[in-house]
Amino acid sequence: MINNSPLSRAEAILIPSPSLAYLGDAMYELLVRERMVLEGSRSPSVDALKYVPAPAQSQAVEKILPILTEEEEGVYRRGRNSVKSGFPKHASPSEYKKATGLEALFGYLYLTGNEDRARALFNAAFE
């Protein structure tokens, strides 16, 4: 994960939350896959299920909320509140909104060149 041209905070905050979540979903997935490989998982696609579904991401949010900066929490809330409809069957609306907020935060961190912070939050969520 290398973002060679990070955006300023002012530029990144102008990106719509669904777009941040779209990018953040990919970054989050990459962190999960990296963890599966580094842990030597024999069934990475199965083992990843403890990280990827909305209910798991919702639980991750609860663990990292106390350590988010004010700015990060604002990005998370904006992403969470951008979900209006289209909830999947495997998650409650609350879980899905939290997961979308988490993905938006990871997208924002990626675009602003804060990949180390995203990795630290991921690790804190899944110690």
Query: Looking at residue 58, what is its pLDDT?
Result: 94
The reply to whether 25 belongs to the active site is yes
Active-site option among 12, 20, 23, 25: 25
Q: Distance between CA 2 and CA 69 in Å, rounded?
A: 23
Q: Is residue 5 part of a domain?
A: no
| Host domain of residue 25 | 14-125
Residue 93: name the closest of 80, 77, 109 by CA.
80
**Would 72 be classed as within a structural domain?**
yes
Low-confidence ranges of the chain (pLDDT < 70): 1-2, 85, 87-88
Residue 40 lies in a domain: yes
What's the pLDDT score for residue 1? 63
The answer to whether the beta carbons of residues 101 and 79 sit under 8 Å apart is yes
Would you say residue 101 lies in a domain? Answer: yes
Residues of the chain with pLDDT > 90, as a percent, come to 78
- pLDDT tens digits, residue range 16-38? 999 999 999 999 999 999 999 99
Residue 102 lies in a domain: yes
Tally of structural domains, the chain: 1
